[in-house]
Chain A
Amino acid sequence: MNSTPFNRILIGFAFSPNLKANVFEAMRLAEFLGAHLYFLHVGSKSPAKAKTFTEILEESPVQPKDFTVLWDEGTPIEVISEQCEKNQIDLLLLGAMQRENMVKFYMGSIARKLTRNAPCSVLLMIKPSVVRKASQHVVVNAFESPGTENTIRAAFHFAQALSASKLTLVEEIDRSEVAEEADDDRGLRKVTLRKEKLKRRELSRVREILTHIPDTLKENIKIHSQSIFGTRGYSIGHYAKVVRADLLIMNSDEKRKRFLERIFPKDLEHILSELPTDVLIIKNKQNG
C-alpha cells in the first residue's frame, strides 16, 4: 500500500449533459488519490464521439499523469463488471439521478445492480460539478461487523487524500438490543441506563479500532464518534443529511447467514433509494 487503497479508478461515461461535470470530477479525484483513471464508454466508437470526448478532456484544469479510454459494446452491467475485473479496478464511479422537481437523489436500476455486483468499491456521486467543491466532513459507519475496520481504514485514506477536516464515526445500534420498553417511568429509567451501557460498549470498540489506524492517517483530522439507536442503514443516511456531510462511507452488503435477515431489505437499500450525499461503498477485498 504505497499511497491509498485506490490505485485504479474507472468511470463509465455517456454523452449526456452531465458529461463534462462527470469527467472533471473523476479527473480531480484521480489526481487526489494519485490513481490511474479508466474512462469506459459502453457503445460503439465513432470518430465524432471520440473527438467530443477528447475536447472535454483537454479542457480539464487538472491533467492526471495516466489515463486510459476504453470503448466496449454490450449490456452496460456486464461490460462494466467485466472491465472492472480485467483492469483490477479498485474504485468504480457512478452518478445518481435526481427526482423531478425535488432535491432528492436516488440510484437508477442499472447503477443499483452495479453497486451490488461490482467486484470493487463504488463511489456514488449526487452532484458532480465542473468546479471543485472541497470536502469538509466525512461520515463513516462503525457498526459491529467484520468489514468495518477495513472501511474505517479506507475512510481515513480517502479523507487524507481529499484533505477533509472532520471525520465522524457513527455506531448504529439496533433498537432491539435495548430489550426494554419505556412504558412508564420505571421502564424509561431502564431504557436510559441500558442505552448508556450500550453506548459505552460501542465507544470502546470504536476506540480500539482507532488505535489500529496509523497516526499519519489521523493527522489534521478532527475525529468524532456518535452513537445512534435506530434502523441500521437508515439512521446513518439521515444523520449524514442532518449534519450536511460531504461524503458518507459504508460497508458493502454483508454476507447474511440467517435466513430471516435475507428477506428484509438490505442495509444499503435505504441509502440507495435516497442518497443523502456522495456515498462511497467499500468492498472488502479479503472476503471477495
Chain B
Amino acid sequence: MGKTKTFRSFLGALPGNIFAGFVVSLVALPLGLGLAIASEAPPIAGILSAVVGGVVVALLGGSQLTIAGPGNGLVIVLLSSITLLGGGDLYQGYLFTLAAVVLSGILIFLFGLFRFGALSEFFPASALQGMLAAIGIGILAKQVHVMLGVTTAGGSPFDLLAQIPDSILYVFQNPTIEVLLAAVLGVGSFLILILYSRIQNPIFHLIPAPMWVVVLAIGLTYYYEFVAAVPYPMGKNLLITLPENLLGNLPFPDFGKLGSLEFIGIVISLTLISCIESLLSIKAVDKLDPLKRRSNVNKDLRALGIATTISGFVGGLNVVTVIARSSVNVNNGGSNRSANLFHALFLLLFIVLFQDQIQRIALPALAAILVYTGYRLAAPENLIMLFRIGKEQGAIYIVTLGMTLAYGLITGITFGVLATFIMHVLINKSVFFFTRNWLKPNVLMFQEEDSGNYFVSVKNFCSFLNFYKLKALLDEIPEHEHVIVDFSLCEFVDHTVMEGLSDYRRSFSSKNGVFEIIGLDVHFSDTQHPFAIRKVLPMKDFLNLGKHLTKRQKTLEILAKKLNWSYRPELSSEANNLEQFEYFKSKQINYQYNVLFDETEQFTLFDLSYSEGAFIAKEDLKSSFLMIRLEEKVPQFILDKEHLLANLYEPLGYQDIDFVEAPDFSRRFFLGGKNRKEIRKWFTPELIFFFESHSYFHVETNENTLLIKGRNRLSSIDEIKKMLAFGTELTQILKKQ
C-alpha cells in the first residue's frame, strides 16, 4: 500500500523533475566544458564527469535535490596536477591525473563508509571561506586572460593577476577583428552574467544565464556563416574540439606515477577538496529544500566516491556535489533524485546530437562564465560580511586566502586552522584552556521528563575543535521538538558554532519546532552581529560598527517615536518563525534589522535580508515586511499579483482560486491556499473590494499571523507608511468579520 503510493507520487513528480533536469543540463553543459578547459583537460572530460555523476549519485546517493558533476574547487588541483605530472605534455599529464581521480574516488568512498561526513565541521567557517575565495581568485586570474582572447598568460596566480593590464593593453594595441571579436564576446558574456539577476523579465529568466552566453556564442558563428557569409574570425586556439567518436577511444588512466610523492599529494588534495566541496554543498542544498528533508551525507559520499572512480576510468574528472546547479534544480521545481539523472541524460543527448554546435562555442564565452564563478567565490562582500562579524574573522580569511594562493590548498587550509586557533588562544589568553578541555566530553543532552523539552548544556568551550560533539547531539533531536541550548557553563563560543546553530534554528523553525539559545547574555561579543564570537570575560571594544544610523534609519527612528513604538536597528538572526510562510519555503533568511514594533508586539515592521538560490545562481534580496498578530485564527492563504507566468506557487501545490462574482479581482490577483472551501467562504465581497481598491502587496497568512511584503527592495518611508495603513485597515476589516 505505502509502496504503491510513493511510486505514484514519484510518477506524478516526474514531469517536474524532467523539466528541472533539462534546465540544469543547460547550465551544466557550459560549466562542464569550461571547468574541464580551465583544468587543461579535454573539454569532454567535464561532461563525462557530469554524466557519470548524475547517473550514479541519482541511483546510490542519499540526498534528494543535489546535482553532481565537475566542481569549481577542484580546478586548481586538477590544473596543477595535469601540468605538473605531465612535465609539459598535457595529454600525458591528463592520463596520470585520471589515475589520481580513480584513487581519490576510492578514498572518498572509504570516507563515506567510515562515516567521515562530519569532516567539514572541523574546519573553521572563515578559513573555509578564505580557501574558497582563493580557489575563486585562482580560476579568475587565469580565465580573465582567456575571456579577453589571450591564451599566452601563465605562471602563479599572483603572476597571472599582474599580467591582466598587459592583456587589456594587448587588445587595444592590436585592434584586428580577430582580437576584438574574442574580447567583445568574452566581455559581453560577462556582462550578461552580471546583469542577469537585475533584469526582472520572467521570459528572459526562462533560460539560465550561462545558457544565454552559449546561445550568444553559437549565434555569433551562425551570423558569420549565413548573414555575413565570411569565415568565422576566431582563432583556432579559441575554439573547442570534441573527439570524433565519443565512445570509441576513451582514454585510460596511466598508473605510472603511483608511488611518487607529488602523485600522493594530488590524490589527498583531490579527496579533501572533493569531500569539503560536496559536504558544504549538500548542507547548503538542504537549506533550500522546500520539504526540508535531511540528506544522508555519508551515503552521498559513498555514491560520489563510486562515481568519481568510474568517471576516472572513462576519462572524466572528480565528481562532487555542486551548489550552483543544485540550486537551479530547486528553483525549477526539481523534487527528487530523478532530476539529477535526467540532467545527466540530457547532457548525453546534447553531446551526441549537438556535437557541431558545441564546437562552435568560443573559449572567451566559457571563460566569462568561469570568471563570473571565480568572482562569486571571492566576492569582496564575503570579506566585508566577515569583518562585520568580527575583525578576527576577517584576519583568518585573509591569512587563509593568501597562504592558499601562495602555497596551495592543503598548506592554505592548515594555516587557516592554525590562525583560527591562535586567535582563540589570544582572545582567551590561555592555551591550556583549550588543550586541557579539548578531548574531554563537554556536552549533555536530556529530554526533561516533565515538559518533554530537550535540554542541551555545553561546558568549557565550544568552537570548531569540538562542535561535532554538540552537532551529534542536536542531530538526534526531531526538528518539530522544543530545544533549549544552554551556554551558561560555557566560557567561549566561536563564530563557526554560532553560524552552525543559526542553521539549526532555521531548520527547527521551518518544521514548527523551537530552538532556543540561552545563557549567552553573560557573554561579551565584539560586534552586534548574531554570528560573532562570544566570550565570558570582557574584551576591549575596538570596532564600533553599527553605531551610526543612516538617514533612512533616523527617519525610521522618528517614525517609531511618533507612533510610540520601539525601534531596534541592529541585525538579529531571530526570524519570528518566518520559515513557516510559503513565501520563504525555498528561500534562505539571513537576518532581520530595522525592527519597529508596538507595545503589545501586535504589529512588527522590519527589513529582512534573504536569498534565493545559491552561489552563482544566488540572488540576494532585501525587502520590508509587516507582520501582524491577529486575535483569531484565519484560514491559510497566499495573495499576490497575478503574473503572466504565474506558476510560482504551483510547485508548492497551489492553484488559483477565482471568484465568479469578482472578475476584476480574479483577473488581477493570484489567491491560493490549502483549504479552498474555507478561503472562498472567508473572502467576503467587502474584503475583495478592499484588495481591489488598494495597491498590490504580497499577503500571506499562517494560523494567526498575517505577513505583508512590500516590493522586492527596501521600502521607502512613504511606502512603509502606506504599508502600515494597509495593514491597519485590513486588520479592522478582519476584526469585523
Contact = CB atoms under 8 A, between A and B. Distances in A.
Interface of A: 181-185, 187-189, 191-192, 195, 224-231, 234-235, 238-239, 241-242, 270, 273
Interface string B458-495: 01000000000000000110100000001001000000
Contact of A241 (B115, B448, B489): B489
B294 A188 contact: yes
Interface stretch (B5-13, B296-304, B562-570): B296-304
B449 A183 contact: no
Contact of A184 (B296, B444, B448, B459): B296
5 contacts: A184-B294, A195-B476, A229-B476, A230-B441, A241-B457
B446 interface: yes
A181 B293 contact: no
B571 interface: no
Given A181-B115, A183-B299, A228-B446, A242 B441 contact: no
Most buried by A among B296, B446, B489: B446
The interface size bin for chain B is 20 to 34
Contacts of A189: 478
B130 interface: no
A44 B214 CA distance: 95
Contact of A182 (B445, B446, B475): B475
Most buried by B among A181, A227, A238, A273: A238
Contacts of A230: 441, 443-445
Interface in B297-315: 297-299
Interface string B272-309: 00000000000000000000011111110000000000
Contacts of A183: 62, 117, 294, 296-299
B581 interface: no
Nearest to A192: B478
Contacts of B444: 228, 230, 234-235, 238-239, 242
B685 to A, nearest CB: 45
Interface in B426-464: 440-441, 443-449, 455, 457, 459
Contact of A242 (B115, B449, B486): B486
B62 A229 contact: no
A184 B62 contact: yes
B535 to A, nearest CB: 15
Nearest to B291: A185
Nearest to B293: A185
Nearest to B442: A238
Contacts of A191: 476
Contacts of A231: 441
A54 to B, nearest CB: 42
Interface in B640-696: none
A185 B294 contact: yes
A110 to B, nearest CB: 21
Nearest to A227: B446
Given A183-B298, A242-B455, A242-B489, A188 B476 contact: yes
Nearest to A183: B296
A1 B243 CA distance: 93
A234 B476 contact: no
B449 A184 contact: no
B319 to A, nearest CB: 20
Nearest to A230: B444
A226 B446 contact: yes
Nearest to B437: A274
Contacts of A188: 294, 475-476, 478
| A-B interface, 3 closest residue pairs, ranked by CB to CB distance from nearest | A238-B444, A184-B296, A183-B296
Contacts of A229: 445-446, 476
A191 B443 CA distance: 19
Contacts of A181: 115
A226 B451 CA distance: 12
Contact of B449 (A187, A225, A273): A225
B434 to A, nearest CB: 15
Contacts of A242: 444, 455, 457, 486, 489
A232 B449 CA distance: 19
Contacts of A227: 446-447, 449
Contacts of A273: 440
Contacts of B294: 183-185, 188
Contacts of A228: 444-446
A182 B445 CA distance: 15
A162 B345 CA distance: 76
Given A230-B445, A231-B441, 8 more contacts: A183-B296, A183-B299, A185-B293, A189-B478, A235-B441, A238-B443, A241-B459, A242-B486
A230 B444 CA distance: 7
A234 B478 contact: no
Contacts of B441: 230-231, 234-235, 238, 270
A182 B299 contact: no
B115 A238 contact: no
B474 to A, nearest CB: 10
Contacts of A226: 446, 448-449
Nearest to A99: B436
A228 B449 CA distance: 10
B223 to A, nearest CB: 51
Contacts of B459: 238, 241
A201 B286 CA distance: 35
A215 B195 CA distance: 79
Contacts of B446: 226-229, 235, 239
A135 B148 CA distance: 79
Contacts of B486: 242
A23 B446 CA distance: 38
Nearest to A228: B446
B478 A238 contact: no
Nearest to A231: B441
A141 to B, nearest CB: 14
Given A227-B446, A239-B444, A184 B478 contact: no
Contacts of A185: 293-294
Contacts of B62: 183-184
A230 B458 CA distance: 13
Contacts of B293: 184-185
Contacts of B440: 234, 270, 273
Given A230-B441, A238-B457, A242-B455, A184 B295 contact: yes
Interface in B378-418: none
Nearest to B297: A183
Interface in B90-123: 115, 117
A178 to B, nearest CB: 8
Nearest to A234: B441
B449 A224 contact: yes
A51 B349 CA distance: 101
A141 B398 CA distance: 50
Contacts of B117: 183
A264 to B, nearest CB: 12
Contacts of B299: 183-184
A267 to B, nearest CB: 12
Contacts of B457: 238, 241-242
A184 B443 CA distance: 22
A22 to B, nearest CB: 27
A231 B296 CA distance: 25
A185 B479 CA distance: 10
A184 B292 CA distance: 11
Nearest to A180: B476
A220 B176 CA distance: 99
A154 to B, nearest CB: 23
A175 to B, nearest CB: 9
A235 B445 CA distance: 8
A133 to B, nearest CB: 21
B476 A182 contact: yes
A87 B149 CA distance: 96
Contacts of B298: 183
B296 A187 contact: yes
Most buried by A among B62, B444, B457: B444
A170 to B, nearest CB: 9
Contacts of A235: 441, 444, 446
